[in-house]
Chain A
Amino acid sequence: MSDTFERVKNIIVDRLDVDESKVTLDSTFKDDLGADSLDVVELIMELEDEFDLEISDEDAEKIRTVGDVVTYIEQHQ
């Protein structure tokens, strides 16, 4: 597991208050992790701070799974 995934996972666990074991690369934010649209916006803002990057609204809309986020961050750093 990549370091990026671990950091993303920690933020998700903290922000969405879900069990660590539920967070895999395949888990979807809305269905598997129970995030509403505001949760996703909050997560994205927090990830932007954590990884010091900016995720455009257009790109943010395409994010469905934890893996999408990890891939996005790794490609944009």
Chain B
Amino acid sequence: MKVYTTGCPRNCYSTCTMKVYVENNRLKRIESHPGNQATREGPCLKGLSYIERVHSPHRILDPLRKIGWSGEFEPISWDVALETIAERLRHYRAAFGPQSVFYYNGSGTKGLLNIVGTAFWKLYGGCTTTFGDLCWSAGLEATRLTLGENKHNAPWDIAKAKLIVLWGKNAAETNIHQMPFINEALDGGAKLIVIDPRRTESSERAQLLIQPRPGSDGAVALAIAHLLIRNDKLDGEFIDAHVHGFSEFAEMVEGMTPERASQISDVPVGYIHEIAGLIGEVKPVTINAGFGMQRYTNSGQTMRAILALLAITGNIGKPGAGWIFANLQSHIFDKVKDPIAFYPPKEPDGVVRVSVSTAKLGRDMIETDDPPLKMVWVERGNPVTQNPETDTVLEAFRSLDFRVVVEQFLTDTAREADIVLPAKTMFEQTDVINAYWHTYIQLKQKVMDPPGNVKPESEMYFRLAQRLGIPEKDIIEECIPGPTDADVEAFLKKKLEPFPELSIERLREGPVLAPGQEEVAFSDMVFQTPSGKIELVSQQAKDWWGVDPLPTYVEPEESIRQKTPESGKYPLYFLTPNTKDRIHSQFNNLDMIRDLSPAPFVEIHPEDARSRGITDRTMVRVFNERGSIELEARYDYSIKRGCVSVTNGWWISEGGTVNICSLGRETDMAHGAAFHDALVEVERAR
């Protein structure tokens, strides 16, 4: 058996390093790798399940073509598949211009080779693509506006904290490798506060679980700031030296008394005093904000308000202290980092039209004109289940002329395709990956040949470019590597060239910390903001996004406090968190995982259930004016009353995606998707 070191490229905090054992082109065993200090205990259940995923009988191993309107697919040769696509591409370019082709890529896998897609579409003559992001826009932008950069202390540094606030994060399920460090901190006497409408696996070891009304976290944060200022629990020296706009901020939060915040958020006043007391007294404080909280229409401001708590107490740039949201210190290959990288360009190049908002995918696709969209190419994504407003996304896809989806399995999106191209897995092509929690650069090694007729995307593009008559020299120059493993390695070597610490040979042995990474972020007190300080007042926030320069509290658009006809009809907040069993819509199709997680269910407080005549484990309908899904109800005695919860990522074919009930709508800043502004009603299924 041969043993390789590799890294898991999923859209996940942990980005584990692992050892894989391969025999006769089959994956036999996956083990932990001690070289990654952040994930040394071993991969999660999903990482282990690659053993099934790679060799699954349901995997797509040939190009597929839809047979008429039947919904069935038939395998075809690469020749036929590529020629069909090339013919269409030539036709659309001639008849409508290259921008009638829509290129959609998701976050399904990390890697430097992901840029090959855009390179191809430029060679083709252009395309239309998306701006914004489903995942983390508002939080990235709030952090950038406040601290200047998205980086944080090393993952293991949280063990030094004396107060940990998991604000809207359920690390036990979404970042399990953080739990040993949190546990270490607790062993050392640290306190843990969790702020979440749900009682989660992560809140189980907390002293306090604060359950605000969804979307109202900003008000809680501002009231805490109010108390810190009123009780003079500030780090005056730190504020003077490193904080911009403190006096305006102090003036603003004077109005946000704990009483008012309590009215807004449903958090009892006593609890707000208690958190403020802890944040004021204990040092160092680490606040780790999750991604869910920043998917509301007010969430950029929410995140800025929470950040301010660390700024005014001097909990930045020190061991055991700080703001954990996203650590982009390993994103060394990006000339422009997120979130700026996914904003529409100030000066469009006229080749790639960046005009479709990811958050409003369906509607923007339908409304695109001059030229209208005729064809879509989807890779690394499953927008039918994962983008807001499923019905509109489906309508947009179905109104196109031609659809190509690159996939490993027949997902809801792949089922919409005319041609499905079989995608590689992480074990079938070498690539270099970064991370957003730890700062290791890793080699995701090719450890086996792709099974069946699977080809890596780079080779698909290479062959397609050849078919379109583009000379090979131009293809390679445009950063599409040739089809051999040596070509791919040459491509990666070129990318690694500027970093002498990072050679392919060195990375083959194990992960390497990104050059220049800081264990304690901002310890130099350099903040890349316009003022060079931590900005509580941000003119850029106003100029770019039209929000108040101060992190004021604004009620989300879809809220029971907005007295609209809808808020009366749909009184329940629809929470759609992630689960340990999936990365979004990946993994639950595997038998191993399905055995643990057989079907979707909605968690509901028994009192909310009873008033609707719903009993435990009976079928119910969750709905609003956008759509409805039917699933089983489960009592959860600790979920905040007025909230119901279904984990996201289920396919329509598995029982229904939660996005049937969400609306395509952007966050207050950074073109994020505000899926979590969602109200529903639940009733017994008929």
Chains A and B bind each other: no
Binding site for B on A (CB under 8 A): none
Binding site for A on B (CB under 8 A): none
